[in-house]
Structure 1
Amino acid sequence: MLKIRLFDEEHEEDLEGAVNAFLENIPESHIKDVKYQVSISDSLRSEEEPTIYSYSIMVVYSE
C-alpha cells in the first residue's frame, strides 16, 4: 500500500531535519518518490510585512 508524508517548514534547515528524521525509519527500497516545492508570498500592501517562504516535501513510500 502506498502512503504519503507531507512536510512544510519556513526554513530549509528545519525541513531537512524533519525529512531526514522520518527517512531514518523507512527502508530505502520503500521510498517511491520525493517531491520538493518552494512557495514565496510577498505582500504588496506594506513594506513592513515580510516575504514568506514555504519549503515543502512530499515523500511517497510503501509500508
Structure 2
Amino acid sequence: MIQVKVFDCEHEKDLEEEMNDFLSNLDARKFVDIKYHIAMLSDEDEQIFCFSGMILYRK
C-alpha cells in the first residue's frame, strides 16, 4: 500500500530538516517519490512563503 507524509513549513530549511528526519528512518526500499511546492502570498507590507513537500512511500 502506498502512503503519504505531508510537510508544511514557513522556512525552506525547516522543511528540509523535517523531511530529512523522516527519510532517515525510512527503509530506502520503501521510498517512492517526493513532491515539492512553494506558495507565496504578497500584500503591501510583507511576503509570506509556504514551503511544502510530500513523501510517497510503501508501508
> Which bracket does the TM-score occupy, shorter chain normalised?
over 0.9
TM-score, length basis structure 1: 0.87
Instruction: Work out the CA distance in 2 between the residues paired with 1:2 and 1:25.
Output: 17
| Per-residue deviation, residues 8-39 of structure 1 (Å, max 9, x unmatched) | 00101100110000001101111111000000
Unaligned runs of 5+ in 2: none
Structure 1 segments, 4+ long, off by >6 Å, are: none
How many residues align? The count is 59
Partner residue of 2:33? 33
TM-score, length basis structure 2: 0.93
Percent identity of equivalent pairs? 36
Q: Which structure features the higher share of strand residues? A: 2
Instruction: Work out the CA distance in 2 between the residues paired with 1:29 and 1:42.
Output: 41
Partner residue of 1:61? 57
Unaligned runs of 5+ in 1: none
Pick the structure with greater CA Rg: 1
